Amino acid sequence: MFAFIINKTSGNGKGHRVWKRVEKILEQEDLPFVARFTEGPQHAQEIVKDLSRKNLKTIIVVGGDGTIHEVANELAYKNISLGIIPAGSGNDFARCIGVPMNPLKALERIIANEKKQVDLLHLGHQYCLTVTGIGLDGQIAKNVNDGAYKKFFNQLRLGGLSYVVSLLETLRDYKPTNVQITIDGVDMTFSNVWLVAVANAPNYGGGITICPDASYNDGFLNLCIVHGIKKWELLRLFPKAYRGKHTTEKNVTFLQGKEVQVSSGNSIMVHSDGEQMTVSPIHIRIKKDALQVV
Ligand SMILES: Nc1ncnc2c1ncn2[C@@H]1O[C@H](COP(=O)(O)OP(=O)(O)OP(=O)(O)O)[C@@H](O)[C@H]1O
């Protein structure tokens, strides 16, 4: 039996359209399934709790990174695999682990049932699959989620552009700040920090390759710290980051470790998998093989 959790509103209605295609195939192939639909934030978590009692082997999300984030938080360290049929606007996690963007190909992959273990970032009270961003990108995530333009760009099937618009909007007023980082017990201070990205996987924000060397199964977290540059230099860097070509820039520092603490004088915004979450200080640990994915 396949259990599906569907966010019909993902990708501004793409969740619904994708589900209709998947449902048709399941019916044609006579595959038994149960389908549950999310009704709002955190509902996916409730559905997982309920489905977990039914002795299922796999729970499949039809949705985007926000829905996957909620479901993965419930499935961590459980003997239930996560399947993904991408239907969001960013789909960064699916992209990172090689899930096909075509829903029917993604379904085929789930049916093939080739399990792999995936690391997760642990942020104390919750897990993150892709990137936790502290500073400018935390503020950008908040503005994307608050802003009406996400819906607009999703309608045009250009969801990734929401982040570009939010970057420009956020940059108008954002001030860089000094940040203290302790990584695997080593203290460092960085001045005029725009952002600290803590990555389990290379991509976020709809395809920005912030930490090209990050890998979801190497047992390490990767940091990208952008500091000590002017606003216009940051704007010059931004398009390069889509291709992961910002790695040789002078004021972009990359670190790797297993545990990191990030703090600053003033509290700065933190997002996790693109959802605005909390404010600094934040303590993050890598949890090796915490999630099973098909
Ligand atoms: N029925 C619903 N109506 C409104 N919001 C919902 C509903 N069900 C779930 N949600 C919320 O929608 C949020 C966003 O969903 P999701 O991440 O799947 O799509 P997306 O934002 O379009 O994609 P991405 O995160 O890949 O950009 C989720 O965090 C969830 O809390």
What's the number of domains the chain is made of?
2
Burial code (b: 16+ CB inside 10 Å, e: under 16) for 208-233 equals bbbbbebebeeebbbbbbbbbbeeee
Residue 260's domain spans which residues? 127-288
What's the pLDDT tens digit per position in 106-134? Answer: 999 999 999 999 999 999 989 999 999 99
Q: Cα(first)–Cα(last) distance of the chain, in Å?
A: 15
* Residue 293 domain-assigned (yes or no): no
Domain match, 151 and 35 both: no
Per-residue pLDDT, 157: 65
Q: Is there an atom of ligand 1 within 6 Å of 65 CB? A: yes
Higher pLDDT, 153 or 253: 253
Closest-CA residue to 8 (of 85, 74, 80) = 85
Q: Is there an atom of ligand 1 within 6 Å of 58 CB? A: no
Q: Is there an atom of ligand 1 within 6 Å of 205 CB? A: no
What's the pLDDT tens digit per position in 190-214? Answer: 999 999 999 999 998 888 899 999 9
Domain match, 91 and 166 both: no
Nearest atom in ligand 1 to the alpha carbon of residue 41 is: 31
pTM equals 0.91
Q: What is the ipTM of this complex?
A: 0.96
| Rounded-to-integer distance, Cα 245 and Cα 249, Å | 9
CA–centroid distance, 13 to ligand 1, in Å, is 10
Domain match, 52 and 18 both: yes
Q: Is the pLDDT of residue 266 over 80?
A: yes
Residues in Cβ contact with 47 at an 8 Å cutoff, skipping those fewer than 6 apart: 5, 36, 38
User: How many Cβ atoms sit within 10 Å of the Cβ of residue 92?
Assistant: 28
Q: Which CATH number fits the domain that encloses residue 227?
A: 2.60.200.40
Domain match, 139 and 272 both: yes
Q: Is the pLDDT of residue 84 over 90?
A: yes
* Residue 120 domain-assigned (yes or no): no
Domain match, 99 and 174 both: no
Nearest atom in ligand 1 to the alpha carbon of residue 206 is: 27
Q: Which CATH number fits the domain that encloses residue 76?
A: 3.40.50.10330
